[in-house]
Structure 1
Amino acid sequence: MEISTWWGIVEQARAAVGDRADDRDPPDDPLPDALVDVLAALEPADIIDFYVKHVELTDSAERYPLMWAAFLIEGSFTDDGFMDFRDGLMLLGHETFKRAVADPDSLADLSVVLRMSRDEGGWIGYETLSYLIKDAYQRARGETDTFDTALEAAIKGMTRPELPSGGNWDPEDDDAMRHHLPRLAALFLD
């Protein structure tokens, strides 16, 4: 699957829910169900390909600066929390994801981040796209017994990062956060 096709699927789901596409606040977040609907209309092999691209995008965002931005915004830097954060960024669309990976401080421009900084609700992270992809596969095939086998075959041989890339610093050092992520630090530390 081409990366443009992958993002097109996400955008199709976002378009289906309209102005609620950026609302990750449960329990009535409409985007997950819309994404399952779009994916379930694909062939099972294409759903597996979508999963593989999801893994590639997740790996491309395995960067310390983005991890520390997630720490500032959502208050956690566990592996699972960072996975959820990256999945949520993907649901925000291609441009937001691309910009955040290149410049995590650009997340300060998002209305959801501004709301979060003022304790007015909102959330970026989503736990987890892999569940949605498996749900779509089940709907398309009528079973999930073959999902793990198909997925293992598809990602076999992929080189995955062992550690995040990019510059690293102590996320609990407020001065370092202000230096590396000045706009986010102004929202969440000052």
Structure 2
Amino acid sequence: MDADRFWALVDAAGGELDALRPLLAPLPDQELLAFQQRLHDQTARANGWRLWAAGYLAADGMSDDSFDYFRLWLVLQGRAAFERVLADPDTLAELAWDDEGAVFDAAEAFGYLVAEVLEERGSDPGDALVAATATGEPSGEPFREDDDAWFATAFPRLTARTRA
């Protein structure tokens, strides 16, 4: 599965995990495993401190697990939104989410979707199924959670939305 096919499936779901399941269900096992690899690759691209800081601001705090779920949520928003927010995390302010960021944590289920579809059809991917979220040290410079001035400068639109 190439990147365009991956994103076509994600975009067709319109940000809804329940809409993605029936799109994945008819795919052969190898395509599902390739979809999961693409998901992993995209979360790896999004594994950066600056994006984590934007998510931290949006959710009023973000643990490492929550950052994993946030990246899954961001992928689920579709290719255009994902690429835009990666290029400029302040554009996260343009996307829809609840004020507490609970929608980010709810995206955890996206990480298990391929495994569930495979299980439902009786397939056992074993070690072939990679983790949905890439782990490891985020790229860039860590942020200080208590540096309100930095947040306001780095993310003026996001700060206006979340700290108004």
**What's the TM-score bracket when you normalise by the shorter of the two chains?**
0.7 to 0.9
Aligned counterpart for 1:94 among listed residues 72, 79, 83:
79
Following superposition, the deviation at residue 124 of structure 1 comes to 4.1
Match of 1:163 among 123, 126, 137: 137
Q: Give 2:34's aligned residue.
A: 49
- Partners of 2:102 and 2:110 lie apart in 1 by 18
Q: Percent identity?
A: 30
1: CA distance, partners of 2:163 / 2:13 = 35
Segments of 4+ in structure 1 off by > 4 A? none
What is the CA deviation profile of residues 83-111 of structure 1, one whole-angstrom value per residue up to 9, with x for unaligned ones? 1111111111100011111111011122x
Partner of 2:125: 147
Tell whether 2:103 aligns with 1:123: yes
Task: Name the amino acid aligned to 1:102.
Answer: A
Alpha-carbon distance, 1:36 to partner? 1.3
Task: Map 1:3-152 to 2 at 5 A.
Answer: 3-14=3-14, 21=15, 31-110=16-95, 112-113=96-97, 116=99, 123-125=103-105, 126-139=107-120, 142-144=121-123, 146-151=124-129
Q: Is the 8 A contact 1:72 1:184 kept in 2?
A: yes
Please give the secondary structure, in 2, of the residue aligned with 1:46: helix
| TM-score, reference length from structure 1 | 0.76
Determine the C-alpha separation between the residues in 2 that align with 1:11 and 1:3.
12
- Matched positions, count: 161
Distance change in 2, residues 1:162/1:127 (3 Å): closer
Root-mean-square deviation (CA, aligned residues, Å) is 2.2
* Contact 1:174/1:189, CA 8 A, preserved across alignment: no
* Distance in 2 of aligned mates of 1:162 and 1:56: 13
Whether the 8 Å CA contact 2:3–2:38 is kept in 1: the answer is yes
Return the alpha-carbon distance in structure 2 between the equivalents of residues 80 and 188 of structure 1.
Answer: 21
Moved more, 85-94 or 180-189: 180-189
Give the distance between the partners of 2:126 and 2:86, measured in 1 at CA: 29
Residue 180 of structure 1 aligns with an amino acid whose one-letter code is A
Deviation of the 1:165 alpha carbon: 1.0
**Cα drift, residue 189 of structure 1:** 2.4
Structure 1 or 2, whichever has the larger Rg, is: 1
Flag structure 2 segments of 5+ consecutive residues without an equivalent. Answer: none
What is the identity, as a one-letter code, of the residue corresponding to 2:12?
Q
Whether the aligned pair in 1 keeps the contact of 2:66 and 2:104 (CA below 8 Å) is no
Cross-structure match for 1:184: 158
1:172 and 2:118 equivalent?
no
Deviation at 1:161, TM superposition (A): 6.0
8 Å contact 1:85–1:124 — kept in the other structure?
Answer: yes
